[in-house]
Amino acid sequence: MNPLLQHLPEEIYTDRLRIRVPQKGDGDTVYASIQRSKEELKKWLPFAMKEQTAAEVEQNLREAYAKFLLRQDIRLLLFEKSSGEFVGSSGLHQLDWDVPKCEIGYWIDSHKSGYGFVTEAVEAITAYAFTHIQAKRVCIRCDSANQNSRAVAVRAGFQLEGILKNDEWSVDKTMLTDTAIYAKTVE
């Protein structure tokens, strides 16, 4: 089936989270979260290394929604159901509709870290990938030194497939890093 014609829900609910595609006006909230979490995020994520304005984040989120409609990428924002507070961002990236397969990425507002929100989101988003995209493979790639990200993969039931040595430059471009590859597959 043509991915453009495939129905993909725009929201997912878990016990504690409302997970949804970006909407017009989310930029200020996400921008504030990035600013609060910048020191932690810039260790691992290139987008946190550059200075952005709230307007640029809003534009990026609108572009993410367009990519969702085109089925090129699925960015998802995480909100606490009880309070409506923004928790973080995740999504399905590197979509390959021919296999089909994808990669889950995620980051969390530093103030929401340590409560299991990312693991809960990854479990729900993985189920979404297997159900709605009919993925045969979902993977998580992260710097092997990022113990928090690796712990999420393990808690969510992903299996370590291997470590790619000297795979990428660090975010600050000062050294080569190793990449840990975790995956869940369907037979």
Confidence of residue 131 (pLDDT cuts 50, 70, 90): very high
pLDDT digits (tens, 9 = 90+) for 22-37: 999 999 999 999 999 9
Whole-number average pLDDT of the chain: 96
Domain that holds residue 44: 10-185
Residue 27 domain-assigned (yes or no): yes
Total structural domains within the chain: 1
Which residues are bridge partners to 19 per DSSP? 12, 78
CATH of the domain at 24: 3.40.630.30
Residue 140 lies in a domain: yes
Q: 78 in a domain, yes or no?
A: yes
- pLDDT tens for each residue of 93-103: 999 999 999 99
Residue 95 lies in a domain: yes
Q: Report the C-alpha gap between 3 and 60 in whole angstroms.
A: 22
For the whole prediction, is pTM greater than 0.85?
yes
Let me know if residue 4 belongs to a domain: no
Q: 68 lies in a domain?
A: yes
